[in-house]
Chains A and B, each alone.
Chain A
Amino acid sequence: GQNIDQPTEMTATEGAIVQINCTYQTSGFNGLFWYQQHAGEAPTFLSYNVLDGLEEKGRFSSFLSRSKGYSYLLLKELQMKDSASYLCAVKNQGGKLIFGQGTELSVKP
């Protein structure tokens, strides 16, 4: 089967660092994506990993370990506007993007 797991909810403090984990089991692997979705809005692309290692983009970084079926999204210097749902998704062998249920992140002052 195809399965993507991530925590349902997380809470963090403004200015802090938070790590959102994602584990996956899919039929084939063609890359792992992270999306951000604010309430009532469309998902927006954050990052893409296809090789093992860390990809850094400003305050956001994403890590991938293909052998462990594991990724994380790291958010630094948290701001209130980072409160959103973070979706982990894997593109499988057939080119389909399979999404996890999303992690609802609340940033508190």
Chain B
Amino acid sequence: DTAVSQTPKYLVTQMGNDKSIKCEQNLGHDTMYWYKQDSKKFLKIMFSYNNKELIINETVPNRFSPKSPDKAHLNLHINSLELGDSAVYFCASSQGGTKGYEDFGPGTRLTVT
């Protein structure tokens, strides 16, 4: 299946821990993204990479660090997790440019206790 996949689907962890979420796309897209969807269902962009290069970096705490080893993968590492980090994190990809639409992964529901 051609798609955007991410692991894990659910992540429950304690405050202060460090965790990673992995994302892979086999759509041949050039651009990948991380979005955060909060409890009010607002979907907000965090980062965007084009061909492994960071092109969008929203006002996100520097505890969040994306890494793109190649254009098919974009991982998100979060240090010193806080209660407010609880949300659903979606990875997405697009062909890039201003007209491509984003294909979203299934999401990772992060719960920080």
Contacts and interface: CB of A to CB of B under 8 A. Distances in A.
Interface stretch (A62-70, A73-81, A93-101): A93-101
Interface residues of A, number: 23
29 contacts: A30-B98, A31-B98, A31-B99, A33-B101, A42-B90, A42-B105, A42-B106, A42-B107, A43-B43, A44-B104, A45-B101, A45-B102, A45-B103, A48-B101, A50-B99, A85-B41, A87-B43, A89-B43, A91-B99, A95-B48, A95-B55, A95-B56, A96-B45, A96-B48, A96-B56, A99-B43, A99-B44, A101-B41, A101-B42
Tier of interface size on chain B: 20 to 34
Can you list the 7 inter-chain pairs with the closest CB atoms, starting with the nearest?
A30-B98, A42-B104, A99-B43, A45-B101, A43-B104, A102-B41, A42-B106
Interface of B: 40-45, 48, 55-56, 90, 97-99, 101-107
